[in-house]
Amino acid sequence: MTEIRSRHLDVNGIRIHVTEAGSGPLVLLLHGFPETAYSYRHQLTALAAAGFHAVAPDQRGYPHTEQPPSVGDYTIHHLIGDAVGLINALGAPDAVTVGHDWGSPVAWGVAQARPDLVRGVVSLSVPFGSRQPHEPLDRIRAAYGDNFYQLYFQEPGVAERELERDPGTAFRKVFYAYSGDAPEIGDLICDENGWTGPLTDPVKLPGWLTEQDIAVYAEAFTGHGFTGALNWYRNITRNWELTAAWQGLLIDRPAMFLGGDRDPVVNWFDPAALRPIMAATVTNLTSYTLLEGAGHWIQQERAAETNAALIEFVSSVS
């Protein structure tokens, strides 16, 4: 059985916890919200068995890694800098950067800012979105109203109180509601009880998710809290301001996109038009797949198919 190892690395003035397996060319696996490196548990061993050094950090502000105190410590430049710092700290000449959810903008950003360090870039669930000329939260409010979850996350302390009251129930609701197993595609709109208020607590978990998995996530955030993770959202406007020089910048590294056709993020866009839209800005999009019936948590929901696609792509650029 492939051993999964754990350690801390000093990167950019903070201690970042990483889980890793295997040896060989580096594959850096960047998780999203509200997850941890545990979300890549199936990919670590599969990539290691295929001859790669798979490394999944708990990113800045998340459990097991340091949580800088200021909201301004979580800009996209900090997050990209951490990924670059990890590549260097691991002694690798380059990496395939893999991102899911919030990890995807980081993976794409490393490919934009430091293409010399990127053999290829993989996005799970979140397509590349080129910088737009208008402030993003204003566009979100105009499109979805004031109760969209990203707007709800802006006020410090509000979402924390909701999620920290009962992390286990919050994780059960969120993982089920935005998976392919939910009866309807989630709309990401909050109600008077917050983000998880309108979500169903499933009587039975889907087959890809166990009570032990829920416990791992809930125990990780208990005590640590959600503030560091939520601070990523509180920099959306600041990130837009900081990346003005990147407007129109293309991504020319080999790229792969894998999503689910029942993912609410994919369905923000017109799924039928998504590939040509991405191809206009990701000029070497060599792999694009939407898995039928899959939701947002694709590397957990559909581990075997995700692993096969990842190994094929990573092998092709390594």
What are the start-end ranges of the E strands in 218-266?
255-260
The predicted pLDDT at position 10 comes to 97
In one letter, which amino acid is 20? E
Choosing from 53, 78, 100, 296, which is the catalytic residue? 296
Spans of all domains in the chain: 5-317
The predicted pLDDT at position 231 comes to 98
The kind and range of the H/E element at 29 are strand 26-30
* Domain boundaries 5-317, CATH class: alpha beta
**Using one digit for the tens of pLDDT, what is the confidence trace for 21-32?**
999 999 999 999
The predicted pLDDT at position 268 comes to 83
* CA Rg value for the chain: 18
Alpha-helical runs (H) found in 66-208: 76-89, 103-113, 136-144, 149-152, 158-165, 167-177
The predicted pLDDT at position 270 comes to 77
Burial of 204 (0-12, 13-18, 19+ CB in 10 A): exposed
Q: Could you count the other beta carbons within 10 Å of the beta carbon of residue 75?
A: 18
**Using one digit for the tens of pLDDT, what is the confidence trace for 21-71?**
999 999 999 999 999 999 999 999 999 999 999 999 999 999 999 999 999
For residue 144 the two structure tokens come to 């979805």
pTM of the full structure: 0.97
- Asked if 252 is an active-site residue, the reply is no
Low-confidence ranges of the chain (pLDDT < 70): 1
Q: Could you count the other beta carbons within 10 Å of the beta carbon of residue 230?
A: 24
CA distances from 212 to 44, 58, 107, 128, 218 (A): 18, 19, 29, 33, 10
**Using one digit for the tens of pLDDT, what is the confidence trace for 285-298?**
999 999 999 999 99
- Asked if 101 is an active-site residue, the reply is yes
Choosing from 101, 181, 224, 263, which is the catalytic residue? 101
